[in-house]
């Protein structure tokens, strides 16, 4: 089946620094990728949708200048948390939609990245 990877799986950074999270579709091409955030004991919240070669679309309330998303190729999207603060500590999950199987079950999820900001 289709596999989505994320790197790193966990990261600790100091307040004020920036951290980049990578999301890759390993065996399929993804024209669309999605970024979610999940706080403890809460559901996943969609942050933004990125399409290859174009600007990301952010959900209401998500700061686009703080969460920079780049979808430079059909297999890679990156999320950069800029000037991270402790309240940005969360579980970040990406998802990729298979261009060939965009309908049906064609949205696949990565394993998540645990970000802790100290």
Partner 1 sequence: DAKTTQPTSMDCAEGRAANLPCNHSTISGNEYVYWYRQIHSQGPQYIIHGLKNNETNEMASLIITEDRKSSTLILPHATLRDTAVYYCIVKASYDKVIFGPGTSLSVIP
Contact footprint for partner 1 (CB under 8 A): 4, 6, 34, 36, 43-46, 49, 91, 93, 95, 102-112, 114
Q: How far is the CB of 40 from partner 1 (least distance, A)?
A: 10
Nearer to partner 1, 34 or 78 (CB): 34
- What would you report as the CA-atom Rg of the chain, rounded to the nearest whole angstrom? 14
**In whole angstroms, how close is the CB of 116 to partner 1 at the nearest point?**
13
Q: Given the complex with partner 1, which of 27 and 83 has the nearer CB atom?
A: 27
* Separation between Cα atoms, residue 24 and residue 73, nearest integer Å: 10
Q: Which is nearer to partner 1, 14 or 41 (CB)?
A: 41
Nearest distance in Å: CB 29, partner 1? 16
Q: What's the CA gap between 90 and 38, in Å, rounded?
A: 6
Rounded to whole angstroms, the Cα distance separating 90 from 53 reads 27
Residue closer to partner 1 by CB (options 75, 95) is 95
Instruction: Give first-to-last CA distance, the chain, whole Å.
Output: 37
CA distance linking residue 44 with residue 82, whole number of Å: 21
Closest separation in Å from C-beta 94 to partner 1: 8
SS3 (DSSP) at 88: helix
């Amino acid at each position: 089946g289709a596999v989505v990877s994320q790197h790193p799986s966990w990261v600790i950074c100091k307040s004020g620094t920036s951290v980049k999270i990578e999301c890759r579709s390993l065996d399929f091409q993804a024209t669309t990728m999605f970024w979610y955030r999940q706080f403890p004991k809460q559901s996943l919240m969609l942050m933004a949708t990125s399409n290859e070669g174009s600007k990301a679309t952010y959900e209401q309330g998500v700061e686009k200048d703080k969460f920079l998303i780049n979808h430079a190729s059909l297999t890679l999207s990156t999320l950069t948390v800029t000037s991270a603060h402790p309240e940005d500590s969360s579980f970040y999950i990406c998802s990729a939609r298979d261009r060939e199987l965009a309908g049906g079950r064609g949205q696949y999820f990565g394993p998540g990245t645990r970000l802790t900001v100290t």
